[in-house]
Amino acid sequence: SQLRSSDVRTDNSPLQIFVKAKKRINDIFVDIEKYVEETVEFMTSLQNDRNIVTTEEAAKVKNYIDKVRGIKDVLRRDHMKVAFFGRTSNGKSTVINAMLRDKILPSGIGHTTNCFLQVEGSDNGESYLITEGSTEKQPVQSVGQLGHALCKEKLCESHLVRIFWPKEKCLLLRDDVVFVDSPGVDVTPNLDEWIDKHCLDADVFILVANAESTLMVTEKNFFHKVSTRLSKPNIFILNNRWDASASEPEFFDQVRAQHQNRAIDFLSRELKVYSPKDAEERVFFISAKETLQARMQEQRGQPAHNGALADGFQNRYFEFQDFERKFEECISKSAVKTKFEQHSQRGKHIATEIRQALDEILDRTKEMRTEQLNIKKEVHDKLNFTEQQLMLLTQEMKDKIHRIVEDVEQRVSKALSE
């Protein structure tokens, strides 16, 4: 209800690709779990019955219950992760706030963000934060203090503070997008640690560049490092602070072309993550500050544009929305592939293994049946034979007795006649 009508793209949002896939794969694993449980029950009953199933076989299938439950847990927690990097003060935190439509993360001049801040959706409308290594929920008012470099309570710059923000306040959070804000890449000697800790499971990276200057070596180096660790990372480049171009209209086209060419060159020729043509779709010229202001105005029911904004605001605002759309498409497709492909392989594997186990049991019981039939037949044949023997024997005896009787009769009559 807090979402404005302009936000209601609910079901045609590209993020739904992920949301629906997640629901489907979760349902499939619920079925697999049931299937495994039933199999275990069945096998246990057979184990007690003439040892048709061995203890090891039953134990093997039983193990799958834990495996399936483990996968189900991971699946429930799976989300799409986007990480923002760039030099100090380029506007990383402001871009995230603009996407969240609220001032959640600390932003300002100078070096502001002093540790990793992860924003994710919370159920039941709660907002709180949790610092690394703790489970204590702290009130969210302290985000500013905790994450701000001027705060006395210093956190290690590679530490992670998780901020939980009500899902209903932003469609991106509702649809399982998790945002990661970072300190400037130019203020740390620990880029490798950052990558190990925060980047390996990111689905999309956003390089927030400063359109007032140009892409810097520190920014480029960071992404070179990332692309040696991840094959073909998804990267967007935002030329932020593009509102500054309004004050130099005579160079507008040239500056834009310069930034555009350098960004495309960086993505295609240097990092080799896209072709030059695809790279074009990954570069945007925006003003995060204006977008955030406009959205906060809209939220208050006022017009986005109060007239005090620099020329070209509308274009920059559209370009921000265009970026969001392309970002949503990219992140949901990528996350489905990286997060669910492995799980579906495992699910298939488990189903096949269980089927094999059941097939083996079926074969075994078939063999046992034929064996029993054979035994029956043998006994039967033996009985037949004995019966026949007996019959023969009886016949023989009968004949013999007959003959004896005849003999006796003959002898008696002979004796009588004599």
Which positions lie near Mg ion, rule CB under 5 A? 92-93, 112-113
Shortest approach of Mg ion to residue 217 CB, angstroms? 20
Question: Long-range contacts: 26-32, Cβ < 8 Å, 24+?
Answer: 26/72, 26/75, 26/76, 28/344, 28/347, 29/68, 29/71, 29/72, 29/75, 29/343, 29/347, 30/72, 32/68, 32/347, 32/350, 32/351
Bridge partner list, 128: 139, 164
Stretch that binds ligand GTP, among 16-24, 106-114, 130-138, 295-303 (CB under 6 A): 106-114
- Partner from Mg ion, ligand GTP, none contacting 289, C-beta within 5 to 8 A by type: ligand GTP
Query: According to CB under 6 A, which one of 101, 262, 282, 289 is a site residue for ligand GTP?
Result: 289
Q: Which is nearer to ligand GTP, 107 or 334 (CB)?
A: 107
Q: Which is nearer to ligand GTP, 112 or 234 (CB)?
A: 112
* Helix (H) or strand (E) run with residue 347 in it: helix 341-417
Cα distances (angstroms) measured from residue 182 to each of 147, 148, 206, 371 = 10, 11, 11, 71
Among 14, 184, 312, 347, binds ligand GTP (CB under 6 A): 184
The entry of ligand GTP, Mg ion, none that residue 90 binds, CB within 5 to 8 Å by partner kind: ligand GTP
Query: Which of the ranges 286-294, 321-329, 337-345, 402-410 carries the binding residues for ligand GTP, by CB under 6 A?
Result: 286-294
Structural element, H or E, at residue 138: strand 138-139
293 binds ligand GTP (CB under 6 A): no
Q: Which does 293 bind (CB under 5 to 8 A by kind): Mg ion, ligand GTP, none?
A: none
Nearer to Mg ion, 92 or 262 (CB): 92
Q: Which tokens hold the place of 402? A: 């007959």
- Buried (b) or exposed (e) across 199-220, using 16+ Cβ within 10 A? beebbbbbbbbbbeeebbebbb
Which residues lie closer than 8 Å to 216 by C-beta, 6 or more apart? 87, 186
Binding of residue 148 to ligand GTP (CB under 6 A) = no
Q: Decide if 11 contacts 168 (C-beta within 8 A).
A: no
241 binds ligand GTP (CB under 6 A): yes
* Coil/strand/helix, residue 111: coil
**Nearest approach, Cβ of 150 to Mg ion (angstroms)?**
12
- Find the binder of ligand GTP among 13, 113, 227, 245 (CB under 6 A): 113
CB of 87 to ligand GTP, least distance (A): 7
Buried b or exposed e, range 270-293, using 16+ CB within 10 angstroms: ebebbeeeebeebbbbbbbbbbbb
The CB-of-112 to ligand GTP minimum distance in angstroms stands at 4
Residue 122 touches ligand GTP, criterion: CB under 6 A: no
- By CB under 6 A, residue 312 contacts ligand GTP: no
User: Nearest 5°: phi and psi at 209?
Assistant: -100, 165
Residue 39 contacts which entry, ligand GTP, Mg ion, none (Cβ below 5-8 A, type-dependent): none
Residues numbered 34 to 93 that lie near ligand GTP (CB under 6 A) are: 86, 88-93
- Pick from 12, 49, 55, 109 the residue near ligand GTP by CB under 6 A: 109
Q: Is 227 in the site for ligand GTP (CB under 6 A)?
A: no
- Interface with ligand GTP includes 210 (CB under 6 A)? no
14 binding ligand GTP? (CB under 6 A): no
Contact 27, 345 (CB under 8 A): no
Residue 111 binding: pick among Mg ion, ligand GTP, none (C-beta 5-8 Å cut-off by kind)? ligand GTP
# chain residues binding ligand GTP, by CB under 6 A = 22
Torsional sign, CA 83, 88, 90, 92: positive
Q: Does 239 bind ligand GTP (CB under 6 A)?
A: no
| Nearest alpha-carbon partner for 309 in 323, 294, 295, 321 | 294
Closest residue by Cα to residue 242 from 310, 296, 321: 310
Angle of CA points 282, 288, 289, to nearest 5°: 165
How far apart CA 234 and CA 271 sit, in angstroms, is 11
The residue among 358, 327, 282 whose CA lies nearest residue 172 is 327
Q: Of the two residues 89 and 334, which places its CB atom closer to ligand GTP in the complex?
A: 89
Q: Which amino acid is at 126?
A: E
The minimum distance between CB 105 and ligand GTP, in angstroms, equals 7
Point out which residues bind ligand GTP (CB under 6 A): 86, 88-94, 107-109, 111-113, 183-184, 240-241, 243, 287-289
